[in-house]
């Protein structure tokens, strides 16, 4: 079994490479990555691979995203302290921990799979993250009790942009979401809600995510 010191050393090399390559652009995202290494959010049998820049399995047939993909989405979101953020698709809890470190306040994250709700909560507790609230439910409906949000980040691929998520954005708010086919290929969209309620969409290219299942996503 690899020591925690060795896991951290490997992880630091991965973070520095992403920074050098310009994938991690900001010091804030770099610091968040160093504070919450990915190995804290995978099962022990995958610790050896947590520094490798590719997706890894987590329970219930889902995945934890590759580090470069998480970095790209966080940089696009331009998170600042005090922002109210909703994440759709908690998975392992890793992305939510990074968001919480960037916004320095409560983060709300929705997960439809009960096994992953518990997995994420355990991981977050072990990592010492107290400001992330994992909510069981259909993330395609958003989370109205805490709306409106400055940012909504979706970590699964949708057939189209779910209307409830746009409705729950503040004017000037931003939604980061993969949209496209059920498996293998989507476009990473940055959706900005303008002051008049209309939206402006920018396409940041091809990505591959598990499908977003729900009333306003794919049917399970």
Q: Which one of the listed residues 3, 26, 65, 92 is annotated catalytic? A: 65
Give the largest CA-CA distance in the chain. 56
Is residue 212 a contact partner of residue 156, using CB atoms and an 8 Å limit?
A: yes
The answer to whether 65 is a known catalytic residue is: yes
Residues 6+ apart with CB under 8 A from 196: none
Residue 95 to residue 98: CA distance in whole angstroms: 5
Any idea which residues carry the catalytic annotation?
A: 65
């Amino acid at each position: 079994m690899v020591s925690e010191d060795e896991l951290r050393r490997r992880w630091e090399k991965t973070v520095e490479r992403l920074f050098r390559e310009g994938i991690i652009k900001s010091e804030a995202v770099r610091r968040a990555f160093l504070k919450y290494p990915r190995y804290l959010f995978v099962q022990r049998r995958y610790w050896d691979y947590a520094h490798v820049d590719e997706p890894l399995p987590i329970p219930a047939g889902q995945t934890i995203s590759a580090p470069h993909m998480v970095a790209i989405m966080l940089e696009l979101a331009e998170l600042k302290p005090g922002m109210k953020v909703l994440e759709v698709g908690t998975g392992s809890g890793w992305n939510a921990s990074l968001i919480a470190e960037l916004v320095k306040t409560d983060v709300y994250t929705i997960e439809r799979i009960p096994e992953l709700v518990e997995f994420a909560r355990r991981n977050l507790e072990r990592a010492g993250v107290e400001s992330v609230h994992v909510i069981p439910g259909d993330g395609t409906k958003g989370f109205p009790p805490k709306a409106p949000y400055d940012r909504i980040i979706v970590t699964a691929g949708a057939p189209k942009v779910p209307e409830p998520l746009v409705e729950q954005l503040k004017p000037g708010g931003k939604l980061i979401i993969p949209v496209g086919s059920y498996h293998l290929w989507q476009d990473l969209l940055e959706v900005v809600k303008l002051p008049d309620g209309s939206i402006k969409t920018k396409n940041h290219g091809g990505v591959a995510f598990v499908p977003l299942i729900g009333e306003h996503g794919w049917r399970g």
